[in-house]
Amino acid sequence: MSRIFSPMVRVMLGFVLLVLYLVPLGQAGTGVIDRQVTRGGHPMTLLMPEPQWQMVRHEQEHTEEDEDALLSHPGDPIPAIIVAHGFAGSRQMVAGYGYTLAHAGYAVILVDLPGHGLNENPYDREANVGAIDQALEVLRAQPEVDVSRIGLVGHSMGAEAVLRAASASPERYGAVVAVSPVFTEVSPATPRNLQLQAGVWEPDFLASAEQILADAGGANADFANGRARELVAIPRAEHIGIVFRQRSHRAARDWFDRAFEFKAAGSHDHSDWRLLGWLLHVAGWLLVASAVTAGARRDPSSEIDLTRRPAHWLALFAGPLVATGAVMGLAQIMTVGTLGGVVVGGTLAFWFLIAGTTFLVTGYRAGLPSFGDVARGVGLFVFLSVVIGVTGHLAWANWSPTTSRLLLWPLFAAACTPWFVATEIGQGDPRSVPRPAWWVAQSIAVIVGLYAMTWTVPGMGVVSLMLPLLPAYSAVFVYLGGKVQRPWAYGIGCGLFMGWVLALVFPLVG
């Protein structure tokens, strides 16, 4: 990139991309009122169409036979939808459904399920239905909402929750959209008007959706009796990516339009491009970083305490496998799935500690960090937090910590640091292969090690669903390592960031 564009051109292009991020954010919020609500300890976001959308008057009288007779009239109450996220998600993860439905004239409430996001109630799948019931009570208190037309959307774990809620109280919920559902018992009568969605690239969840559809009586369009059923297979979508797909959002909206016979006056199709805008925003910051940093290559021959051992490449792959073996051994004497008070996250921190320590001991001699390394590491963490975390909070993932999560952060960060110190020693060594090759090798080593853990350690299977994100995160880290050029600074900065992610994302337990 530096050979193609001058620093000034990269800065200008970077700032253009930063500004472009504001466009989808503005489009999402225009015409939508955003209210923050907490009920029963469950934080929620209520999205309402602006009142003027309901004030569009018709120029002529309509009869029931008119094709547009279903347009909402001034003062008409509007249907409402409750949206529930999946495991290790939050309200932000499924906000695309919220904005698409709000722009279509629906009231929408997004809820952080127990143990997730800002919800400090302990993680409990049985309590998820209770959180949905609390969201229903919030909707019932809104004078704009038609309480006879309430729908549900849920993804993965959230899909299980909405299916259970709608089956237990079919009189409350007139339509359900279950995205990437785990298998949940249903019947031909309940829940009412069920749409199932799954990505073509998530075959296990697609098979689960097919089984649920069969148990629910098969595909049909009997909306009048609440027995309508449909399965929508979203092409080129896997378990996490499906919640950001426009096709998924619009399929849900169209299902509710049909189930509730609803078409709001003044509504319009909305495409949620906030995630794409955020990706452009990250690219813009990386361009700016490439222009304002010297990026001088290290000279390992002058760094006595940063030397590689003959088996450093073997150590790269041995570290993750040793870590998986350590987790397997620990699982024989204790429950590892809730280490540190969070589901999965503490185990992953322990895994990185063993993998990184093994990598250092067998691959490198790292020495000790200087005060300057610590300062630069903290600076790198701040940069990553702004570029990826704070701005990502507006697009797809919660970045706000609760007190209990904040207390876990230093422990998880310390556990992750050795891995990043070791990888930067290798990838920044001019005597070694180029950084892109190191990125590929690291990604393979981590994915293989973690995937082996998902198969051998009970309760860790959910990690396999997140593995597609690791190469993207790793690519950003490796790129920034080329700008920092100091292994301990890189290790501390990335360790602080990864520790924050592990403490923030995974659900809290009691």
Q: Domain containing 256 — which CATH number?
A: 3.40.50.1820
1: in domain: no
Query: What range does the domain containing 323 cover?
Result: 299-505
pLDDT class of 305 with cuts at 50, 70, 90: low
The two beta strands, 42-49 and 32-39, are antiparallel
The total of other beta-carbon atoms located within 10 Å of residue 481's CB is 25
pLDDT classification of 365: cutoffs 50, 70, 90: confident
467 within domain boundaries: yes
Whether 21 is in a domain gets the answer no
Domain check: are 233 and 320 in the same one? no
How does DSSP classify residue 387? I
| Cβ count near 441 (within 10 Å) | 17
Angle between helices 435-456 and 312-331 (to 10 degrees): 20
Domain count, the chain: 2
Segment 363-388 shows an average pLDDT of 92
Statement to judge: residues 257 and 123 lie in one domain: yes
Q: Which residues contact 75 (CB under 8 A, 6 or more apart)?
A: 54
Helices marked H in 261-311: 274-292
Residue 113: inside a domain: yes
> Crossing angle, helix 403-427 and helix 345-363, to 10 degrees?
30
Token digits of residue 323:
């870590």
DSSP SS3 for 71? strand
- The domain boundary, picked from 223, 251, 270, lies at 270
| DSSP string covering 405-450 | HHHHHHHHHHHHHHHHHHHHHHHT-TTS--HHHHHHHHHHHHHHHH
Tell which residue, 92, 117, 107, has the closest CA to residue 42: 117
- Evaluate whether 252 touches 481 at the Cβ level (below 8 Å): no
* Mean pLDDT score, 70-92: 83
DSSP, collapsed to helix, strand or coil, labels residue 42 as strand
Cβ atoms 318, 362 nearer than 8 A: yes
Residues 263 and 319 in one domain: no
Q: Is the pLDDT of residue 65 over 50?
A: no
Question: Do 463 and 348 meet the contact criterion of CB atoms below 8 Å apart?
Answer: yes
- The reply to whether 389 falls in a domain is yes
| Cross-strand bridge partners of residue 34 | 47
Cα–Cα dist 375/366, whole Å: 18
Both 467 and 355 in a single domain?
yes
Residue 364: band (very low, low, confident or very high) from pLDDT cuts 50, 70, 90: confident
Q: How far apart are CA 245 and CA 378, in angstroms?
A: 35
Does the structure show a pLDDT above 60 at 61?
Answer: no
Q: Assign 48 a pLDDT band (cuts: 50, 70, 90).
A: very high
Q: Are residues 243 and 124 in the same domain?
A: yes
Does 180 lie in the same domain as 93? yes
Q: Are residues 360 and 439 in the same domain?
A: yes
Query: Tokens 């018992």 appear where?
Result: 185
- Both 162 and 102 in one domain: the answer is yes
Which CA distances in Å does 489 have to 125, 239, 433?
A: 40, 34, 21
320 with 238, same domain: the answer is: no
> Quick one: 427 and 315 in the same domain?
yes
Q: Is the pLDDT of residue 175 over 60?
A: yes
Predicted TM-score of the model (pTM): 0.92
pLDDT-above-70 percentage for the chain: 92
Residue 10: inside a domain: no
Residue 22 resides in a domain: no
Torsion sign (Cα): 34, 281, 446, 299: negative
State the CB neighbour count (10 A cutoff) for residue 52.
9
In sequence order, what E strands does 40-185 have?
A: 42-49, 78-84, 107-111, 145-155, 175-179
* 218: in domain: yes
Give the model's pLDDT for residue 298. Answer: 66
Q: How far apart are CA 12 and CA 290, in angstroms?
A: 12
Asked which of 250, 270, 290 is the last residue of a domain, the reply is 270
Q: Which of 29-33, 302-306, 407-411, 433-437 has the lowest mean pLDDT?
A: 302-306
Residues 261 and 407 in one domain: no
Same domain, 304 and 260: no
Q: Which of 424, 396, 414 is nearest to 97 (CA)?
A: 396
Cis peptide bond upstream of 436, omega within 30: no
| 194-199: strand order across its sheet | 32-39, 42-49, 107-111, 78-84, 145-155, 175-179, 194-199, 229-234
